[in-house]
Structure 1
Amino acid sequence: MTLPAVPPISFQDIATELRLLPGEGLSFSWDNVKRLLGMSRLHPGPISLSDFLGKTRPWWGLVPVRSNDIVGTTWYSWNQSDGGLAAAVDPYFGNMPITAIMSTVSASGSDSIINFQSDPGFRNNIKAQLLDDNYNVVREVVLTYNAQAGVQWRSATLGGGDTSTCLFIATGIFTINLIKL
């Protein structure tokens, strides 16, 4: 769902977009409210209802990224089978599970991919954002539907050790947003 682009807008609209359960309440000082608005969690405010017009909550989660090295190539990945902190099923992607998010780094070609369990039913590009602890964007890549794989979105592949299309370039637990363009 996307919030209304023109008034009126209600607290209930915002709570629904944030996927809050009935009766959970809502505060404009909450981190997820600021994240929905694309603001740093340190943003002091003020925040008004009009700031929410046209906003959409993307898929977001924490992903524990591990690495694997084989002969000059490093894979940084989160796989659904690893468990971890990511809420891999979300209405934003039609409740289709994300099974892997990976970046490959090598001199011959570096890129990133996102795999779904099966076809999520859209072909939009996906903007993947790696965020710092305050929800500021640290890295951002755009992934395009890969028709040959059918359930995969892939960034451009760049050679020469260029990692600018890699979402991950290290191991750790990362906060990410995935946004349909």
Structure 2
Amino acid sequence: MTLPASPPISMVDLANETRHTIGGFGIPHDDVKRLLGLPRSHPGPISLMDCLGKTRPWWGLVPVKKVTLGSPVTTTWYTWLQADGGLADAVDPYFGNVPIIAIQSTISAAESGSILSFDGDPGFRNNIKAQLLNNDFSVVREVVYTFDSVGVYWRSAQLPGGDTSTCLFLSEGNQFVNLIKL
């Protein structure tokens, strides 16, 4: 869903777009700032008019684990799997309510990159921009995923020589992620 591009716009519209109930929700809420691409520390003011035409992408706080292979280590994965549970709502109307089952980055001397996997076909083939955010919701890294027709997943460019520029995750821990259809 997208917020109206021109007035009128209401708090109910904004609450629906950010997946909130109206009670206890207001314009300075962190999710409104995130919708607008503003840091949490943004002092305001923010008005409903600032929200015209905005669409909430998929976002979540995902617990990323580190997995290594080889001795000495030859490959490192930073991974969030829906099956491991976590803090992110993996099913979202933005992706047609098709669950995200994995977001992973692989780093090795041979090839590095990232993948985004769904439980089924979400019904689109758009590229997807993934943003890794810091605690203030400022973008730290961006990676673009392209649909891979071999499966129901999207993959970033795979780069040789340990180049991690197309890896979304470079460390473990709870991480804020936005996923945006392009």
Which TM-score bucket, shorter chain as reference?
Answer: over 0.9
Partners of 1:117 and 1:67 lie apart in 2 by 22
Tell me the secondary structure at the aligned position of residue 144 of structure 2: strand
Equivalent residue letter for 1:82: D
User: Does residue 34 of structure 1 match 2:33?
Assistant: yes
Gaps of 5+ in 1: none
Residue 168 (structure 1) shift = 0.2
Residue 27 (structure 1) shift = 1.1
Partners of 1:86 and 1:177 lie apart in 2 by 11
Residue correspondence of structure 1 range 54-133 to structure 2 within 5 A: 54-71=53-70, 72-133=74-135
Partners of 1:42 and 1:34 lie apart in 2 by 9
Equivalent residue letter for 1:17: E
Residue 8 (structure 1) shift = 2.2
Post-superposition CA distance 1:14-36 (Å, at most 9, x none): 11101123x42431111111011
Q: Number of paired residues? A: 179
Which 4+ stretches in 1 moved above 6 angstroms?
A: none
Residue 148 (structure 1) shift = 0.9
Post-superposition CA distance 1:71-107 (Å, at most 9, x none): 3111110111111111111111111111110000111
Equivalent residue letter for 2:164: T
Post-superposition CA distance 1:37-87 (Å, at most 9, x none): 110000000111221011111111111111111131111101111111111
Residue 139 of structure 2 corresponds to which residue in structure 1? 137
Residue 10 of structure 1 corresponds to which residue in structure 2? 10
Partners of 2:11 and 2:24 lie apart in 1 by 9
Residue 159 of structure 2 corresponds to which residue in structure 1? 158
Residue 160 (structure 1) shift = 1.3
Tell me the secondary structure at the aligned position of residue 98 of structure 2: coil
Gaps of 5+ in 2: none
Of 46-55 and 110-119, deviating more is 46-55
Equivalent residue letter for 1:54: G
Residue 171 of structure 1 corresponds to which residue in structure 2? 172
Tell me the secondary structure at the aligned position of residue 31 of structure 2: helix
Tell me the secondary structure at the aligned position of residue 33 of structure 2: helix
Is contact 2:27-2:48 (8 Å) kept? no
Post-superposition CA distance 1:86-132 (Å, at most 9, x none): 11111111111111100001111111101000101111111101100
Tell me the secondary structure at the aligned position of residue 132 of structure 2: strand
Of 7-16 and 152-161, deviating more is 7-16
Q: 1:148 aligns with which of 144, 147, 150?
A: 150
Equivalent residue letter for 2:9: I
Q: Tell me how large the CA RMSD over aligned residues is.
A: 1.0
Partners of 1:67 and 1:24 lie apart in 2 by 39
Percent identical pairs in the alignment equals: 64
